[in-house]
Structure 1
């Protein structure tokens, strides 16, 4: 992932891009609120906001990953409670919607939380197949395995959301 910078500084370093600079300079409550939109754990958001300023996006993403690995089960539960199950677009076939609705219900009954999946890197036209394949595969997991996969998917979602947050001009 390329470093997001904005022009050279003395000594050959580069300044953070405007979005990252605004994030670094924002008051802590504002930064925490923005981070909670990326990942719904208050502890995670507070930790990332407290360690600002970040010299570049990679440092922020690394800190987000590290903070994600350090969360307690209750922190993960809090973050999952802030998520909504991914849905298909309005132009998706009715049969695909029915299949996904049934799969979501079974997943939530089995694991007690919404199904999360990061679809970054897939074209929107691939989302229905990826969601259905992912949820069907993961329904075969035991609780421990699914907890680990869900945590990975949440970290991936957070990374994409952070990129969007700091990429704004």
Structure 2
């Protein structure tokens, strides 16, 4: 029940906009300089700003508010644990809201037309069967393999029972949330001059 993300095509821009291979950055704990300092910046954000930024990561207001309200977090793992726990407590309506918030990033410029058509057809079949966005976490899969892995995953998951697939989509969102939270920490952390972005230039 794991996988991860990036892509889409020009033909897909004519779709509902609710089918998604969420854009994913490659931020990892190893790439972040001082995680405690990054947490300090995140923990110090005003409640409204924290919720707004978290909403960009989690795509669900209840999820975002819960994470914001439980600050401060002593460690990144504590933040991840809180996000995971909140994700497991989401209602079906919350999940639908989170899925509806996903968008399709573009396929690479050199992607062949057949790739656009294949991905578009697979997305259409998935939405028709399950009625919600396709979400996948690809982790550290090389970008050149992302399309093939995505198509393979869509076709495989099309055979799932709808209730089982909803659980898988939930898990994919949870894993994507962890990656996005790392990016959020990087954005709210100190710059080389020691100042936080929210304090201005």
Same fold per TM (> 0.5)? yes
C-alpha distance in structure 2 between counterparts of 1:119 and 1:37, whole Å:
19
CA RMSD of aligned residues (A): 1.8
What is the TM-score with the length of structure 1 in the denominator?
A: 0.88
Q: Do structure 1's residue 16 and structure 2's residue 25 form an aligned pair?
A: no
Q: Report the Cα offset of residue 85 of structure 1.
A: 4.0
Flag the structure with more relative contact order, 1 or 2, with Cα contacts below 8 A and sequence separation at least 6. 2
Q: Any gaps of 5 or more consecutive residues in structure 1?
A: 7-14
Deviations 1:117-156 (A, max 9, x none): 1122111111001110011011111111100100000101
Q: Any gaps of 5 or more consecutive residues in structure 2?
A: 1-27, 190-201
Q: Do structure 1's residue 79 and structure 2's residue 98 form an aligned pair?
A: yes
Corresponding position of 2:54: 35
Deviations 1:15-38 (A, max 9, x none): 812x32211100111111111111
Corresponding position of 1:146: 165
SS where residue 16 of structure 1 aligns? helix
Greater shift in the superposed pair: 79-88 or 115-124:
79-88
Distance 1:5 1:85, change over 3 A: closer
